[in-house]
Structure 1
Amino acid sequence: MSSTNRKVIITCAVTGAVHTPTMSEYLPITPDEIAEQSMEAVEAGAAILHLHARDPKDGRPSPEPALFNQFIPRIEEATDAVINITTGGSTRMTLEERLAYPLQAKPEMCSLNMGSMNFSIHPVARKISSWKYEWEQSYVEGMEDLIFRNTFADIKHILLELGEHGTRFELECYDVGHLYNLAYFVDEGLIKPPFFIQSIYGILGGVGPDPENLAMMRTVADRLFGRECYEFSILGAGRHQMQLLTMGAIMGGNVRVGLEDSIYLGKGTKAQSNAEQVRKIRRILEELSFEIATPAEAREILKLKGRDKVGF
Structure 2
Amino acid sequence: MSKVIISCAITGSVHTPTMSPHLPVTPQEIAEQSIAAAQAGAAIVHLHARDPADGRPTPSADTYMRFLPQIAAACDAVVNITTGGSVGMTLEERLQGAMRASPEMASLNMGSINFAMFKMAEKPREWKHAWEQPYLLSTEDGIFRNTFRDIRHILQTLGEGHGTKFECECYDIGHLYNLAHFVDAGLIKPPFLVQSIFGVMGGMGADPENVLVMKQTADRLFGRDHVWSMFAAGKQQMPFAVMGAAMGANVRVGLEDSLYLERGKLAPSNAAQVAKVCRLLAELGLEVATPDEARAMLQLKGARQVAFA
**In structure 2, how many angstroms separate the alpha carbons of the residues matched to 1:150 and 1:220?**
21
Q: Is 1:84–2:80 an aligned residue pair?
A: yes
Paired residue type of 1:196: L
| Residue of structure 2 equivalent to 1:151 | 147
**In structure 2, how many angstroms separate the alpha carbons of the residues matched to 1:251 and 1:119?**
27
**In structure 2, how many angstroms separate the alpha carbons of the residues matched to 1:251 and 1:16?**
26
Q: Is 1:208–2:205 an aligned residue pair?
A: yes
| Residue of structure 2 equivalent to 1:194 | 191
**In structure 2, how many angstroms separate the alpha carbons of the residues matched to 1:262 and 1:188?**
35
**In structure 2, how many angstroms separate the alpha carbons of the residues matched to 1:162 and 1:307?**
16
Asked whether the equivalents of residues 6 and 251 of structure 2 are also in contact (C-alpha less than 8 Å), the reply is yes
1:225 alignment partner, one of 211, 222, 226: 222
| Residue of structure 2 equivalent to 1:120 | 116
Runs of 4+ in 1 over 4 A off after TM superposition: none
The Cα of 1:290 is off from its aligned counterpart by 0.3
The Cα of 1:276 is off from its aligned counterpart by 0.4
**In structure 2, how many angstroms separate the alpha carbons of the residues matched to 1:31 and 1:308?**
21
Paired residues in the alignment total 307
**In structure 2, how many angstroms separate the alpha carbons of the residues matched to 1:308 and 1:284?**
32
1:244 alignment partner, one of 240, 257, 275: 240
Residues 137-167 of structure 1, C-alpha deviation per residue, up to 9 Å, x if partnerless? 1001111010100000000000000112110
Asked whether the equivalents of residues 65 and 101 of structure 2 are also in contact (C-alpha less than 8 Å), the reply is no
**In structure 1, how many angstroms separate the alpha carbons of the residues matched to 2:113 and 2:196?**
15
Q: Give 1:27-42 correspondences, 5 Å limit.
A: 27-42=23-38
**Matched position secondary structure for 1:235:** strand
Q: Is 1:287–2:280 an aligned residue pair?
A: no
Q: Is 1:180–2:172 an aligned residue pair?
A: no
Q: Which runs of 5+ in 1 are unaligned?
A: none
**In structure 1, how many angstroms separate the alpha carbons of the residues matched to 2:124 and 2:151?**
35
Q: Is 1:59–2:55 an aligned residue pair?
A: yes
2:307 alignment partner, one of 295, 307, 311: 311
**Matched position secondary structure for 1:186:** helix
**In structure 1, how many angstroms separate the alpha carbons of the residues matched to 2:192 and 2:64?**
26
Paired residue type of 1:262: S
Paired residue type of 1:265: L
**In structure 2, how many angstroms separate the alpha carbons of the residues matched to 1:105 and 1:124?**
32
Q: Is 1:18–2:24 an aligned residue pair?
A: no
Residues 115-136 of structure 1, C-alpha deviation per residue, up to 9 Å, x if partnerless? 0010012112111332110000
Residues 156-196 of structure 1, C-alpha deviation per residue, up to 9 Å, x if partnerless? 00000011211000000000000000001111111111110
The Cα of 1:277 is off from its aligned counterpart by 0.3
The Cα of 1:274 is off from its aligned counterpart by 0.1
1:167 alignment partner, one of 160, 164, 168: 164
The Cα of 1:54 is off from its aligned counterpart by 0.2
The Cα of 1:7 is off from its aligned counterpart by 0.5
Structure 1 residues 124-133 or 248-257, which shifts more?
Answer: 124-133
TM-score for the superposition, normalised by structure 1? 0.97
TM-score for the superposition, normalised by structure 2? 0.98
Asked whether the equivalents of residues 199 and 234 of structure 2 are also in contact (C-alpha less than 8 Å), the reply is yes
| Residue of structure 1 equivalent to 2:261 | 265
Residues 227-258 of structure 1, C-alpha deviation per residue, up to 9 Å, x if partnerless? x1111001110001011111111111000000
**Matched position secondary structure for 2:304:** helix
Percent identical residues: 62
**In structure 2, how many angstroms separate the alpha carbons of the residues matched to 1:274 and 1:119?**
23
Q: Which runs of 5+ in 2 are unaligned?
A: none
**Matched position secondary structure for 1:77:** helix
Paired residue type of 2:102: K
Paired residue type of 2:281: L
1:71 alignment partner, one of 51, 67, 72: 67
